[in-house]
Structure 1
Amino acid sequence: MVQIVGPTGVWFDRHTGSFCVPRTGWVELRKPSGRASGDRDTIPATTPDPDPTLRKPMIRGEYDPERMKRLTDPLRRAWTHVREAMGTEDPGSPPPRDPTAIGRVHRIALVALVIAMSATLVAVLTIPGAAVIGRLARGVASKLDGGPRGLEGVSFKIAQRSVVYAAGGEVLATLAGEENRAFVPIDRIPEITQQAVLAIEDARFYEHHGVSIAGLFRAMFANVEAGSVRQGGSTITQQLVKNIIVGNEKSLDRKIREAQYAVALEKEKSKREILELYLNETYFGEGVYGIGTAAEYYFGKRVEKLTLAESALLAGIIRAPEYYGPFVSRKRALDRRNTVLDRMAQLKYEPGPDIDEAKASPLRFGRHPLPKPLDPYFVEFVKGQILDNPLFGETRADRARALFQGGLKIYTTLDLKLQNAATQAVAKVLTSKKDPAAALVSIEASTGKVKAMVGGNDFQKSKYNLAVQGKRQAGSSFKPFTMVTALEQGVPPSYTLDTPSPLELTDESGHVWKVQNYSHHGEGVMTMRKATELSVNAFYAQMIQKVGPAKVVDVAHKMGITSELKPYLSLALGTFEVSPYEMASAYSTLANGGVHCTPFAIDRVVDAAGKTVLRNDPDCQEALDPKIAAQADDILQGVIQRGTGRTNAQLGRPACGKTGTTDDYKDAWFTGFTPQFATAVWLGYPKDRTRPLYNIHGYAKVFGGSLPAMIWARYMKFAHTGLPILQFPKPPAVLPVAIPDVTGKPFDQAKSELEAAGFTVRQETVSSSLAPGMVAQQDPAAGTQTDPGSMITLFVSDGSGSGEPPSPEPSPSPAPSPEQT
Structure 2
Amino acid sequence: MSDQLNTRQARRQAQKKKQNSNNKGKSKKQLIKKIAIATAIAIAVAIIATGITVFAIISNAPELDEEQLMLTQGALMYDQNDEFVSQLESSERRMNVSISDVPSVVQDAFIAVEDIRFRDHFGIDIRRLFGAVAANITDGFGAEGASTITQQLVKNLFLENDKLMSRKIQEQYLAIKLEQQYSKDQILEMYLNQIYLGSGVYGIELASQRYFNKTVEELSLADAALLAGIPRRPSFYDPTVNPEAAESRRNLVLSLMVQHGKITEEEAAEAEAISIEEQLDVTEREAYAYEAFYNLVLNELEEIDGITSSDIYNSGLKVYTTLDTDAQEHVETVLQTSEYIQNYPDNEDFQAAITLLDTETGQIKAVGSGREDSGQQRGFNYATEAKRQIGSTAKPLLDYGPAIEYLQWSTGHMITDEPHSYSDGTEINNFDGTFQGRMSMRRALAASRNVPAVKALQEVGTDRAKEFGEQLGMSIDTMHESYGLGAIPLSTKDLAGAYAAFGNNGTYTQPYSVRKVEFPDGRVLEFEPESQMAMSDYTAYMVTDMLKTAVTDGTGGTANISGLPMAGKTGTTNFDRDTREQYNIPANAAPDIWFAGYTTKYTAAVWTGFNQHSENNYFPSQDSSRQIAQQIFKAVVEEVSSTIETPDFTMPNSVVRVGVERSTGYYQVILRQVVRLFMNYLYVVMSRLEYQKNLSTLNLLAI
Q: TM-score category by the smaller chain? A: 0.5 to 0.7
Picking from 693, 696, 700, the partner of 2:623 is 700
Q: Residue type of the partner of 1:421?
A: H
After superposition, the C-alpha distances for 1:58-85 in whole angstroms (9 at most, x for unaligned) are xxxxxxxxxxxxxxxxxxxxxxxxxxxx
Structure 1 distance, partners of 2:656, 2:400, is 18
Written as runs of structure 1 = structure 2, the 5 A alignment for 1:385-396 is 385-392=300-307
Structure 1 distance, partners of 2:332, 2:606, is 12
Structure 1 distance, partners of 2:315, 2:612, is 36
Q: 1:173 to 1:431 in 2, by over 3 A?
A: farther
After superposition, the C-alpha distances for 1:138-169 in whole angstroms (9 at most, x for unaligned) are xxxxxxxxxxx999763338253122233242
Q: Residue type of the partner of 2:405?
A: E
- Alignment of 1:496 with 2:439, yes or no, is no
After superposition, the C-alpha distances for 1:706-759 in whole angstroms (9 at most, x for unaligned) are 111000000001111211131101251145799999xxxxxxxxxxxxxxx999
1:469 partner SS: coil
Displacement of 1:628 = 1.6
Q: Residue type of the partner of 1:587?
A: Y
- Alignment of 1:246 with 2:158, yes or no, is no
Structure 2 distance, partners of 1:637, 1:385, is 33
Q: 1:736 to 1:675 in 2, by over 3 A?
A: closer
Displacement of 1:382 = 1.6
Q: Which residue of 2 aligns with 1:410?
A: 319
Q: Which residue of 1 aligns with 2:114?
A: none
Structure 2 distance, partners of 1:407, 1:758, is 58
After superposition, the C-alpha distances for 1:605-641 in whole angstroms (9 at most, x for unaligned) are 11123x2432113522221211221111111111111
Structure 2 distance, partners of 1:534, 1:405, is 53
The answer (yes or no) to whether the contact 2:492–2:607 under 8 Å persists in 1 is yes
Displacement of 1:680 = 0.2
Structure 1 distance, partners of 2:371, 2:388, is 17
Q: 1:456 to 1:736 in 2, by over 3 A?
A: closer
Structure 1 distance, partners of 2:93, 2:617, is 47
Q: Which residue of 1 aligns with 2:388?
A: 472
Q: TM-score with structure 1 length normalisation?
A: 0.46
- Alignment of 1:526 with 2:439, yes or no, is yes
Displacement of 1:786 = 8.3
In structure 2, the gaps of 5 or more residues are 1-57, 96-176, 187-204, 207-284, 575-588, 667-688, 692-696
Q: Residue type of the partner of 2:317?
A: L
Q: 1:785 to 1:690 in 2, by over 3 A?
A: farther
Displacement of 1:247 = 3.8
Q: 1:683 to 1:583 in 2, by over 3 A?
A: same
Q: Residue type of the partner of 1:643?
A: G
Structure 1 distance, partners of 2:489, 2:185, is 60
Q: Which residue of 2 aligns with 1:516?
A: 429
The answer (yes or no) to whether the contact 1:585–1:599 under 8 Å persists in 2 is yes
Written as runs of structure 1 = structure 2, the 5 A alignment for 1:715-734 is 715-730=636-651, 732-734=655-657
Structure 2 distance, partners of 1:400, 1:662, is 38
Displacement of 1:549 = 1.8
Identity of aligned residues (%): 23
Q: Which residue of 2 aligns with 1:171?
A: 85
Q: 1:616 to 1:437 in 2, by over 3 A?
A: same
The answer (yes or no) to whether the contact 2:561–2:638 under 8 Å persists in 1 is no
Structure 2 distance, partners of 1:516, 1:450, is 36
Displacement of 1:472 = 0.6
Structure 1 distance, partners of 2:185, 2:595, is 66
Q: 1:512 to 1:576 in 2, by over 3 A?
A: same
Q: 1:604 to 1:433 in 2, by over 3 A?
A: farther
After superposition, the C-alpha distances for 1:669-728 in whole angstroms (9 at most, x for unaligned) are 0000000111000000022288653359xx62643xx11100000000111121113110
Written as runs of structure 1 = structure 2, the 5 A alignment for 1:449-468 is 449-458=363-372, 461-468=377-384
Q: 1:622 to 1:250 in 2, by over 3 A?
A: closer
Q: 1:247 to 1:533 in 2, by over 3 A?
A: same
After superposition, the C-alpha distances for 1:100-150 in whole angstroms (9 at most, x for unaligned) are xxxxxxxxxxxxxxxxxxxxxxxxxxxxxxxxxxxxxxxxxxxxxxxxx99
After superposition, the C-alpha distances for 1:378-417 in whole angstroms (9 at most, x for unaligned) are 222221222222212xxxxxx1221111220112111111
Q: Residue type of the partner of 1:714?
A: A
Q: 1:515 to 1:712 in 2, by over 3 A?
A: same
Which structure carries more relative contact order (alpha carbon 8 Å, separation 6+)?
A: 2
Written as runs of structure 1 = structure 2, the 5 A alignment for 1:716-755 is 716-730=637-651, 732-735=655-658
2:623 partner SS: strand
Structure 2 distance, partners of 1:522, 1:568, is 23
Displacement of 1:175 = 4.6
Structure 2 distance, partners of 1:250, 1:515, is 66
1:391 partner SS: coil
Q: Which residue of 1 aligns with 2:558?
A: 647
1:659 partner SS: strand
The answer (yes or no) to whether the contact 1:177–1:404 under 8 Å persists in 2 is no
Deviates more, 1:583-592 or 1:405-414: 405-414
Q: Which residue of 2 aligns with 1:581?
A: 493
Written as runs of structure 1 = structure 2, the 5 A alignment for 1:127-142 is none
1:442 partner SS: strand
Q: Residue type of the partner of 2:591?
A: K
- Alignment of 1:660 with 2:595, yes or no, is no
- Alignment of 1:712 with 2:627, yes or no, is no
Q: Residue type of the partner of 2:538?
A: K
Q: TM-score with structure 2 length normalisation?
A: 0.53
Q: Which residue of 1 aligns with 2:27?
A: none
Displacement of 1:176 = 2.8
- Alignment of 1:630 with 2:541, yes or no, is yes
Q: 1:243 to 1:708 in 2, by over 3 A?
A: same
The answer (yes or no) to whether the contact 1:655–1:673 under 8 Å persists in 2 is yes
Q: 1:605 to 1:685 in 2, by over 3 A?
A: same
Written as runs of structure 1 = structure 2, the 5 A alignment for 1:147-162 is 154-156=63-65, 158=68, 159-162=71-74
The answer (yes or no) to whether the contact 2:344–2:628 under 8 Å persists in 1 is no
2:484 partner SS: helix
Q: Residue type of the partner of 1:404?
A: Y
Structure 2 distance, partners of 1:740, 1:465, is 49
Written as runs of structure 1 = structure 2, the 5 A alignment for 1:180-219 is none
CA RMSD, 1 decimal: 3.6
1:448 partner SS: coil
Written as runs of structure 1 = structure 2, the 5 A alignment for 1:551-630 is 551-561=464-474, 563-609=475-521, 611-630=522-541
The answer (yes or no) to whether the contact 1:177–1:405 under 8 Å persists in 2 is no
- Alignment of 1:683 with 2:594, yes or no, is no
Displacement of 1:572 = 1.1
Q: 1:655 to 1:161 in 2, by over 3 A?
A: same
Q: Which residue of 1 aligns with 2:684?
A: none
Structure 1 distance, partners of 2:657, 2:616, is 45
1:633 partner SS: helix
1:715 partner SS: helix
Displacement of 1:649 = 2.7
1:694 partner SS: coil
The answer (yes or no) to whether the contact 1:504–1:514 under 8 Å persists in 2 is yes
Structure 1 distance, partners of 2:405, 2:185, is 76
Q: Which residue of 2 aligns with 1:536?
A: 449
Displacement of 1:540 = 0.5
Structure 2 distance, partners of 1:783, 1:444, is 41
Q: Residue type of the partner of 1:560?
A: G
Written as runs of structure 1 = structure 2, the 5 A alignment for 1:42-441 is 154-156=63-65, 158=68, 159-162=71-74, 163-168=76-81, 169-176=83-90, 246-247=181-182, 372-392=287-307, 399-426=308-335, 427-428=337-338, 429=341, 431=344, 433-434=346-347, 436-441=350-355
Q: Which residue of 2 aligns with 1:4?
A: none
Displacement of 1:785 = 4.4
